Amino acid sequence: MAGVPIGRRNLFSERRRTFLGIAGVGVALLMVLALDGIFAGAMREVSRYIDASGADLFVSQRGVRTMHMSSSSIPFAAVERIRMLPGVRWADPILYDSGAVTASEERALTYLIGYAPGRRGGPAPLVAGEEPGPGEIVLDELAAGTLGVGVGGRVETLGRSWRVSGLTTGMTNIVNSVSYVPFDDFAAARGLDGVASYVLVGSDVSTGVMVRRIESATGLTAQTRAGFSAEEGRRVKDMSTELMQIMTFAAFVIGLAVIGLTLYAAILSRQREIGVMKALGARPGRLGRIVLSQAAWTVGAALAVAVLLALGLGWVLGRAAATLPLVVEASSVVRVAVAAAVLGALGALSPLIRVSRVDPATVFRR
């Protein structure tokens, strides 16, 4: 059994100040968690098409590793070579581009996928209507809502008009959505002939073996679905890293200021008592532990508050704004906990210096 927990007692005897401090640090940590969570949510959405495609592998033009911000072109001859390879269960080409779908005055950014209806790479799951026939398009239900159209409505993209034949779900994220048109219509609208953007492959052998087999036979780049999805996430992440770093740093500075001021005020208000403790024989290490325990309690409680609020916020956003999912990942909590520990240690520095300077002889002064 340890000694009297004086750090905790001191901290929580000033409830209002302590709770304000915890709330301040908690909000700062929440900012980091929420940013992380929104980013994690966006990452999941960004690669949703790839993850839901059902393909074991994605084949692209040599050196092309993502869909986002990429252009890939594969001749049909290569598609046929892939189909002939042993262990290939199926291989379906898709066309891909990013653009916008418009209706009346409304506009929704979209990834456009051209696929052969009845084959892989199309809309899944369909929640209304059917796969697109010639001159038809399938939209995500949220994008359709934004455009104010439903099944049977008309939209513009790729420089022509399309009839909405069906709606998917879960394919809209904070940035854009995914729309599907027939492969041949896509090619005609873009003036493409005999090429695909990517090839989706189903494999009967291990994906590692199949990657090597396709790459040596065609000279193209093949990746597993998970690898392709991770590359996609990394590409988007790289583009947002600086912004995330700036916002995280801002939140960190706010948290540092709050915890520093909270601990400093707590020590300042008990300066005489620190002197008493020194007079009674408290060693510097013991006094340091008192300050650090106050810091630990503050950041620990603040972290708990931040995690609970982030989970609550994620729940609310999940219901109120489907395009803005907030996913609190364990890795994110661990990262923020480490940051909080650093925050606490830094915030305790100034109070520690103050404590070290208190003269025990002050107890005899009035």
Using rule CB under 8 A, residue 16 touches another protein: no
In 3D space, the residue among 60, 79, 86 whose CA is nearest the CA of residue 119 turns out to be: 79
Binding residues for another protein, rule CB under 8 A, total 29
* Residue selected from 62, 160, 212, 283 as contacting another protein according to rule CB under 8 A: 283
Binding mask 346-365 for another protein (x = CB under 8 A): -------------xxx-xxx
Minimum CB separation of residue 26 from another protein in Å reads 23
Using rule CB under 8 A, residue 6 touches another protein: yes
Minimum CB separation of residue 276 from another protein in Å reads 5
Q: Which residue, 130 or 359, is less far from another protein as judged by CB?
A: 359
* Residue selected from 191, 280, 330, 331 as contacting another protein according to rule CB under 8 A: 280
Answer yes or no: are the C-beta atoms of 199 and 132 closer than 8 Å.
no
Minimum CB separation of residue 272 from another protein in Å reads 7
Q: Measured between alpha carbons, how far apart are the two ends of the chain, in Å?
A: 36
The owner of tokens 């650093």 is 342
Spell out the residues 6+ positions from residue 37 whose beta carbon is closer than 8 angstroms to its own: 310, 313, 314, 326, 327, 328, 329, 332
Cα separations in angstroms, 125 against 49, 50, 110, 259: 11, 13, 17, 48
Binding segment for another protein among 78-86, 280-288, 300-308, 321-329 (CB under 8 A)?
280-288
* Residue selected from 33, 220, 278, 343 as contacting another protein according to rule CB under 8 A: 278
Minimum CB separation of residue 240 from another protein in Å reads 46
b/e per residue 18-31 (b: at least 16 CB within 10 A):
beebbebbbbbbbb
Using rule CB under 8 A, residue 320 touches another protein: no
Q: Which residue, 357 or 366, is less far from another protein as judged by CB?
A: 366
Q: Which residue, 91 or 290, is less far from another protein as judged by CB?
A: 290
Binding segment for another protein among 165-173, 180-188, 245-253, 266-274 (CB under 8 A)?
266-274
Residues found near another protein in the complex (CB under 8 A): 1-4, 6, 9-10, 12-13, 270, 272-273, 276-284, 286, 359-361, 363-366
